[in-house]
């Protein structure tokens, strides 16, 4: 027959072990909860549907490449779109946007060059002729018309130092006509020969009187028309050395 005292001691010991086990389980559960919360807070929300690669390509049903997004040799992102000969190229190298028509030649360009000048260019299928619009860092800007050889034939410019000008050039790129305002906002008109010498000039002078001048091939004034302070007309003919040949009145 078992000893009642011994049995009670065993029961008491089992009871203490059970209580200790419950305390351990509670402590372990609390520690696990703390670790879970810490991990969730440290990781934070993650972006969904993120796909990374060195090059993304859009392919048509026939397997032809229609679009591509990639990095160029200088690590600039480049987006290319193609449909037959038509294309569009967008890059941060500049940055710039280049468009080509269905013939693969007629195009348009808008971008910022290495001199921090912004440009807009339109060209025909000859690629060289067209229109160029430029705005420069110094504050000057202009619209330029190019012929079939890519030479500038006409331009309208706003100058950084003040004034503006409308210029005309021949097929060799030589200035043949100029009309505008100088830095002092005085209007003027100049016609030049093929060698670049000024032959006819008109200007409104600082005193408000007009001046019409004809020059020879060396740029020497030979004939002048103007008005005097009282508004009366005045004419002078000059020799090649600049000496007066005739005047009236």
Could you tell me which residues are beta bridge partners of residue 96? 91, 111
Task: Report d(CA 204, CA 185) in Å as an integer.
Answer: 10
3-class secondary-structure state, position 9: helix
Give Rg (Cα) of the chain: 42
Query: Which residue bears the tokens 């690590």?
Result: 75
Q: What angle do CA 57, 63, 67 make, to 5 degrees?
A: 30
Could you tell me which residues are beta bridge partners of residue 210? 204
Output the six-digit token pair for 133.
Answer: 């619009």
**pLDDT tens-place values along the chain, 249 residues long:** 445 555 565 556 656 656 656 665 655 555 555 445 445 555 545 557 787 888 999 999 998 999 999 999 999 999 999 999 999 999 999 899 999 999 999 999 999 998 899 999 999 999 999 999 999 999 999 999 999 999 999 999 999 989 999 999 999 999 999 999 999 999 999 999 999 899 999 999 999 999 999 999 888 999 999 998 888 999 999 998 989 999 998
pLDDT, tens digit, 9 for 90 and up, residues 46-99: 557 787 888 999 999 998 999 999 999 999 999 999 999 999 999 999 899 999
Output the six-digit token pair for 203.
Answer: 């200007």
Going by C-alpha positions, the residue among 235, 243, 196, 237 that lies closest to residue 219 is 196
Write out the DSSP string of 175-199: EEEEEEE-TT--EEEEEE-TTS-EE
3-class secondary-structure state, position 8: helix
Write out the DSSP string of 2-38: --HHHHHHHHHHHHHHHHHHHHHHHHHHHHHHHHHHH
3-class secondary-structure state, position 97: strand
Outline where DSSP puts E strands in 113-220: 118-123, 130-135, 141-146, 152-158, 164-169, 175-181, 187-192, 198-204, 210-215
Dihedral over Cα of 191, 197, 202, 203: its sign: positive
Instruction: Report which DSSP code applies to 162.
Output: S
Task: Report d(CA 140, CA 180) in Å as an integer.
Answer: 15
Beta-carbon contacts of 248 under 8 Å, excluding residues fewer than 6 positions away, are 234, 235
Query: Which residue bears the tokens 């006509």?
Result: 177
Count of beta carbons in the 10 Å neighbourhood of residue 144: 18
């Amino acid at each position: 027959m078992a000893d009642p005292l011994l049995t009670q001691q065993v029961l008491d010991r089992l009871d203490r072990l059970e209580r200790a086990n419950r305390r351990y389980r509670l402590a372990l559960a609390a520690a696990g909860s703390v670790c879970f919360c810490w991990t969730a807070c440290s990781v934070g929300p993650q972006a969904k549907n993120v796909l990374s690669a060195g090059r993304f390509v859009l392919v048509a049903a026939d397997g032809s490449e229609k679009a591509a997004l990639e990095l160029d040799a200088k690590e600039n992102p480049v987006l290319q779109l193609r449909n037959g000969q038509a294309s569009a190229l967008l890059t941060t190298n500049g940055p710039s946007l280049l468009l080509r028509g269905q013939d693969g030649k007629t195009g348009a360009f808008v971008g910022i060059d290495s001199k921090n000048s912004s440009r807009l260019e339109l060209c025909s299928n000859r690629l060289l002729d067209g229109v160029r619009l430029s705005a420069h860092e110094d504050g000057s800007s202009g619209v330029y018309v190019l012929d079939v050889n890519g030479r500038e034939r006409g331009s309208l410019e706003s100058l950084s130092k003040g004034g503006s000008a409308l210029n005309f050039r021949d097929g060799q790129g030589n200035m043949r006509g100029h009309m505008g305002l100088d830095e002092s906002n005085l209007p003027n008109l100049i016609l030049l020969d093929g060698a670049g010498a000024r032959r006819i000039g008109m200007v409104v002078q600082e005193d408000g009187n007009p001046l019409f001048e004809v020059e020879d091939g060396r740029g020497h004034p030979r004939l002048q028309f103007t008005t005097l302070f009282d508004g009366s007309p005045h004419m002078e003919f000059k020799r090649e050395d600049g000496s007066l040949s005739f005047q009236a009145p």
